[in-house]
Structure 1
């Protein structure tokens, strides 16, 4: 049972990372105005209602087991697997953006690299917020207090200025807390086909109340029901998938951190290359191409780094501590 639960959670991560890369590919193509006016407005809003909340909730699910080992080991591990990759990959992507200034949608300056302590580069706000949440659960160990903070954060998120880091953090906190407090129940939650269909209908209904005129309508309290229903649909889908597709999505889920930190560079590189080549691809073709490279390129890099034992160097896995080996003592000479 434990193996099965881990399996479907990895499948859910695989589905989630595909959606994240597709969303950023779509936004990159639209922002570059490569093929005329955008035609993916509704799809964009629908996707953004739940794909990042999904990852926040998944991150929370793993917290209780890790925190049970002690606060100090827990924070030490998160410094390596969350804080370190945040700093490292922010610097890598920031320097690439500076080097490619004028060729990408986002412009970066050297001062932006100095500001990552309080202003993350996109898309690394997720790692920034995640580390803040990890510190929070160490400081607030009471479930009732943590739930109260989550509810308060959701309410406050509707009052804050849009597109600010504090706004993103307050809206995402409830999903993380749900994962933490509901960890074991979520792992054991059976979601048959009928439940998945019911959740899909619930998402369609909830999506109708998501505001259409707000600056970031998918990060408002009105979007919360659609986010929960969308996460439920992904969970039901993850439990129902089998065969080779399940294996492939599990592999993507296991490599989701690598794909996440590298996919923007892969997306942008593909978009720039296609622009230079002048291929007459329709908008959906450009998005599909950027998504494919944005997933498969970082996934291939992950496999190469893993085969060489370099994942920890790049903050993509914890270093494995090996027990010291001592040579057998020589027998005493006669």
Structure 2
């Protein structure tokens, strides 16, 4: 598969993932606000989405792990992740937390500033993902000693066992985040290493693959939910369902990339900005439509809230970058760990006498 198409389908996969993220959070907000009924159908859809949409992002993060480590080295990759993951985690945890504290009388929650600054050991809302992803990357830099097939498959097998048996592990936030998500990162590493994306063939082959995986995904979701369980019940079936959901999105993304659907490419390229801001815009839309405009229809709220959660952050991020406020998404030179490392590497070394 050509490199351009490869990068394109990854953006499309991010777009489909972020659409599911925004929809899920908007729907949960409507239920919490009493606008939408907490029905069996809602809980089923919620569980199906949450069974694979965040594992998808860990999978996508693993795709370029070895490429990044080869280009930047271990210290350079870690410095990059400090800039691209840890920095926005801190900045937007404070921004969103501050807004929630100020508007607690109008939203679903009651938050104090002390809760905001517990982020380093108790990340809030959607920011748990960035918190967990940073530790997943840090662990990956330690345990991937080589790019051999045996090493990659061993890590995938061990991380799969950790996921299935996580109930036996110590009840520590970071340990559970890693046990719950590292397997999907490892799956992304393996997917790239074995060049599985190059074996999918043409569009007709992709459609056939997507159809088969969709049927497997549906069967696994039925197996999971027919027993009264949901996405929080970790085990072999939930792991299999998550992996099937990931590959379903992968094949669909390859199809949409071949079709050249530009809006998905745009949403995918801006998925981090959308992820950081969508709770603010989605909650704001719910307040605007419900308490100011008097709209109470759940379907209208769900549709408009999802659109607001996707496109307001996209436009806001573009506007911030244009007026020189990109420091909200990436650290300025003075605070950049990557730039500090570059300066250290390029500094002349004094010769010992």
Q: Which TM-score bucket, shorter chain as reference?
A: 0.7 to 0.9
Q: Structure 1 residues 133 and 298 mapped into 2: Cα distance closer, same or farther (>3 Å)?
A: same
1:13 is displaced (CA, Å) by 0.7
In structure 2, stretches of 5+ residues that fail to align are 146-150, 340-353
RMSD: 2.7
- For the residues of structure 1 that align with 2:266 and 2:317, how far apart are their CA atoms? 11
2 CA distance for matches of 1:314 and 1:271?
24
Shift of 1:298: 0.3
Contact 1:75/1:135 (<8 A) preserved: yes
The answer for the alignment partner of 2:160 in structure 1 is: 151
Q: Within 2, Cα distance between the matches of 1:275 and 1:166?
A: 40
What is the match of residue 25 of structure 2?
A: 24
Asked whether 1:108 is paired with 2:111, we answer yes
Task: Give 2:129's aligned residue.
Answer: 126
Using the alignment, how far apart are the partners of 2:257 and 2:171 within structure 1? 40
Unaligned runs of 5+ in 1: 322-334
Query: Against the structure 1 CA distance between its residues 159 and 30, is the aligned structure 2 distance closer, same or farther, given a 3 Å change threshold?
Result: farther
2:87 is aligned with 1:72: no
Deviation of 1:310 (Å): 3.7
User: d(CA) in 2 for partners of 1:163 and 1:208?
Assistant: 31
Which deviates more from structure 2 when the two are superposed, residues 151-160 or residues 297-306? 151-160
Aligned residue pairs total 321
Change (3 A) 1:259 1:220: farther
Give the distance between the partners of 2:37 and 2:46, measured in 1 at CA.
17
Aligned to 2:189: 180
Determine which structure has the larger helix proportion and give its number.
2
How far apart, CA to CA, are the structure 1 residues paired with 2:84 and 2:4?
A: 23
Q: Deviations over 1:30-75 (max 9, x none)?
A: 1111244435121111111111111110011121111112011111
Judged with a 3 Å threshold, the aligned counterparts in structure 2 of structure 1 residues 37 and 74 are, in CA distance, closer, same or farther, namely: closer
Q: 1:124 to 1:186 in 2, by over 3 A?
A: farther
Q: Shift in Å at residue 228 of structure 1?
A: 1.0
- After superposition, the Cα gap between the structure-2 partners of 1:128 and 1:35, relative to the gap in structure 1 and judged at 3 Å, is closer
1:59 and 1:12 map into 2 onto residues whose CA distance is 11
TM-score, normalised via structure 1 length: 0.87
Q: Which position in structure 1 is the counterpart of 2:211? A: 197
Moved more, 140-149 or 68-77: 140-149
Pairwise CA distance, 1:187:
4.1
| Distance in 2 separating the partners of 1:218 and 1:274 | 35
1:229 CA drift (Å): 1.0
Task: Say whether 1:87 aligns with 2:90.
Answer: yes
